[in-house]
Chain A
Amino acid sequence: MRVLVTGVGRYLGAHLAARLAEHPPVEEVAGFDSAAPRSPLREMLDEHRVSVVTGEPRDVAVALARAGADTVAHMGIISTPGAGGRAAMKEQNIIGTMQLLAACQASAQVRKVVVRSSTAAYGASFRDPAVFTETTPPSLAPRGGFAKDVIEIEGYVRGFARRRPDVVTTVMRLAPMVGPQADTTLTRYFSLPVVPTVLGRDPRLQFIHFDDALELLVRAVVEDHRGTFNVAGEGVLVLSQAIRRAGRIAVPVLEPGLGALAGLVRALRLMEFSHDQLDLLVHGRVVDTRALVAEFGVRPRSTAEAFDDFIRGQGLHRPVFAALRPETVETVEKAIVAGIRRLGERVGRPTDHPPAEVTR
């Protein structure tokens, strides 16, 4: 099995390529991206002998032919504009996917295509059912650039799967990833000492542990799992609960001022929030993972477990507000309860109520 992994310049793609290189049925892994991987990722790829080709989206056909790949893992989908802006993001997401699928369609060798998608495809609005299954269409067209891209990409993938039914096509809709090392907008958001939330909203969130996401993607590549799957940890954390677990303090912001605040944060280069991430913080999003568990036969860590691991790994269990540490809270509680019990024993039972009455 020879695999071409796109998007190796980024965290997920590089890690997938490195993992696949060590996975038995895989003989060779080649990587493709528009920009060469940078320092820690480059060393990791070198160590696992992943050859990397860089170039324009249309060069992917060359990379595919040169690698002689029979399997393609398309990870080259980005969720935030980054330095290049929205135009570059769209170029990479849309044109990159179209070029890749065109190359795959023309190739006689390709037997399998695995595409990394996102649960952002469902959008987030007040008119949606509480839990999305793989077949639920979004009731409102999402307004975020990434969500629009994802929907378009999945449309092309469906078209490809129709034209090449002999190719096993897998779409993995990943929930937001968290993990001890993961560095995404959401992990940075929860690392803020004071976390802005939307006043009067407490969205339901779902996460997938990065290691589990990686494991499932590896399985999707080396095994055959045709179809579209939601990839998320079971269960739900509401935002206020997640913030408290992270030992942070929420600062509610008025909903109308949200866009402006996000713009300010972006302008100050503090953080980058896309429209769909803002919608997520208002309405939340939960997906059904029964199809994933049934098909892959593994159960990823639950949302709460994944989030707790992220908190431990990122050192967030030492919160800025030390008083909110679970241990501190528990100690204080125990002290108060012990004091009250002593007081209760001294004041409460003896004289007022003779034992006979208490025992009936």
Chain B
Amino acid sequence: MTRPRKATTAAAGPEPAQRRRRPATSRRSSAAGASAAASADRANGRPTRPTPPTTVPAVVGAVSAEESGPTRVDNGSRAAADGAARPDGGRPAGQPAGLDEVTGWADWPEQVADLLAFLRRRLTGRYEVDEFGFDPELTETVFYPLLRLLYRHYFRVEVSGAHHLPAHGPVLLVANHSGTVPVDALMLSVAVHDETPTHRHMRLLGADLVFRIPVLSAFARKSGSTLACNPDAERLLNAGEVVGVFPEGFKGIGKHYRDRYKLQRFGRGGFVSAALRTGAPIVPVSIVGAEEIYPIIGSITPLAKVLGLPYFPVTPLFPWFGPLGLLPLPSKWLIEFSPPIPTEGLAADADDPMVVFNVADQVRETIQQTLYALLERRPDPFS
């Protein structure tokens, strides 16, 4: 991958000391380098991708801090917003390097105060949870920053086509599923949050297995997931949310390593009827990289049956090396959002199996072709 690399260096050049901002900038520009549309976007400012709306106060704060001097810079969770808010290429010329760092350090009392306020709200139960159990505060303050470490430094995710995600309104993301453990779903939710100017939260539709298991079920609900069923999908889409679904399900995530990047069958197409009924556009998402994190070379079926799991994975490291086997391999990830497939005016066809299967096939074909294209861009899985 040479092209994006160059873009990265160019963009990050003038600000060598900015450790906090650099990942956001480099990620964005490398994403732009990856697709022609996005790089045109980059060349003339940002015509197709609007600046973050002024309704996000933290972003406004960050921008004005840059323009007018002192000094408040928001902490980690807003760093991406900060990076996206400015035109590509970083700061205006002549601005001293490392201002960010300086003010960030000088502002540590504010950051501690923010943290304490967060802890106080958690301790006294004064926070909002929506009817699905989604806890935006916890997700943004705790879950995303942790996942972002994996996202940026471990899997080095590169995103292309993020401009296909609408800034507002319902959209159904349909992605390929792989990797034994649904890490791809987590990385996709970070990508959606960080790459949309409005910082949208992707609401995942999960298998009922997730909601059967203690701890996992609680985390799933708090991070915005809900059961993959049509009532929930339609309710979320009607509320204008970003909904993420992996129609391959266990067939995709638990497939043998030799079948990597071969899309499996797409269930009953329930996701298509949900989109048709609500008029939400479908954005196919292709994820490359998750296949290599835990390559499945076998399954211990009797053990899976005893545990009530769809498969019990055997990878080159698991279960032989115990806890070490739980460490995902550091593959290089690419996520591409394809152009949306509109569904307005098709509500009447939501119960027509022919229409539903056709749309599902179209989505499937798009993802499969994009996967092949992405794989050509990434010849070495661990590059």
Contact = CB atoms under 8 A, between A and B. Distances in A.
Interface in B76-132: 95-96, 99, 102-103, 105-106, 108-109, 112-113, 116-117, 119-120, 122-127, 129-132
B47 interface: no
Contacts of B123: 244, 324, 329
A136 B229 CA distance: 12
Contacts of B103: 358
A200 B215 contact: yes
B73 to A, nearest CB: 12
A241 B211 contact: no
Contacts of A259: none
A244 B227 contact: no
B264 interface: no
Nearest to B233: A129
B70 to A, nearest CB: 5
B262 interface: no
A343 B99 CA distance: 21
Given A204-B221, A326-B126, A344 B120 contact: no
Contact of B214 (A200, A236, A345): A200
Contacts of B222: 202, 238
How large, as a class, is the contact surface on chain B?
A: 35 or more
A53 B108 CA distance: 71
Given A130-B226, A130-B227, A343-B109, A255 B214 contact: yes
B208 A237 contact: no
A360 B99 contact: yes
Contacts, number: 130
A352 B105 CA distance: 11
A283 B214 CA distance: 10
A291 to B, nearest CB: 14
A353 B106 contact: yes
Contacts of A336: 112, 116
A213 B123 CA distance: 30
Interface string A260-278: 0000000000000000000
B166 interface: no
Contact of A128 (B108, B127, B227, B235): B227
B262 to A, nearest CB: 30
B212 interface: yes
Contact of A245 (B124, B133, B226): B124
Contacts of A359: 69-70
Interface string B217-259: 1100110001101011001000000000000000000000000
Interface residues of A, number: 48
B71 interface: yes
A324 B120 CA distance: 10
A348 interface: yes
Interface string B170-181: 000000000000
B63 to A, nearest CB: 14
Nearest to A131: B131
Contacts of A202: 133, 218, 221-222
Nearest to A345: B109
B112 A244 contact: no
A241 B127 CA distance: 8
A358 B109 contact: no
B133 A284 contact: yes
Contact of A357 (B102, B113, B133, B211): B102
A357 B125 contact: no
A22 to B, nearest CB: 36
A340 B109 contact: yes
Nearest to A357: B96
Contacts of B106: 344, 348-349, 352-353, 358
A183 interface: no
Contact of A330 (B96, B120, B216): B120
Contacts of A341: 109, 113
Contact of B99 (A126, A201, A330, A357): A357
A235 interface: yes
B218 A136 contact: no
A245 B125 contact: yes
Contacts of A75: none
A280 interface: no
B136 to A, nearest CB: 13
B69 A337 contact: no
A56 interface: no
B231 A129 contact: yes
A255 B208 CA distance: 18
A198 interface: yes
B246 to A, nearest CB: 18
Interface in A21-44: none
Interface string B3-20: 000000000000000000
B131 A126 contact: no
Given A129-B229, A353-B102, A360-B69, A337 B124 contact: no
Centre residue among B71, B131, B216, B217 by max chain A CB count within 10 A: B131
A329 B124 contact: yes
A163 interface: no
A133 B109 CA distance: 47
Given A357-B99, A358-B70, A359-B69, A237 B129 contact: yes
A188 B138 CA distance: 29
B273 to A, nearest CB: 15
Interface in A106-121: none
A200 B217 contact: yes
A235 B132 CA distance: 10
A141 interface: no
Contacts of A337: 109, 112-113, 116
A267 to B, nearest CB: 26
Nearest to A234: B131
A171 interface: no
A333 interface: yes
Q: What 8 A-B pairs are tightest by C-beta distance, nearest first?
A: A200-B214, A344-B109, A200-B215, A244-B125, A359-B69, A245-B125, A126-B211, A129-B231
15 contacts: A199-B215, A200-B214, A204-B131, A243-B125, A244-B125, A324-B123, A329-B124, A343-B109, A344-B106, A348-B105, A352-B102, A353-B106, A357-B99, A357-B102, A358-B106
Given A244-B123, A352-B102, 14 more contacts: A130-B227, A131-B131, A136-B231, A200-B213, A204-B129, A324-B123, A326-B126, A340-B109, A344-B106, A348-B105, A348-B106, A353-B106, A358-B103, A360-B69
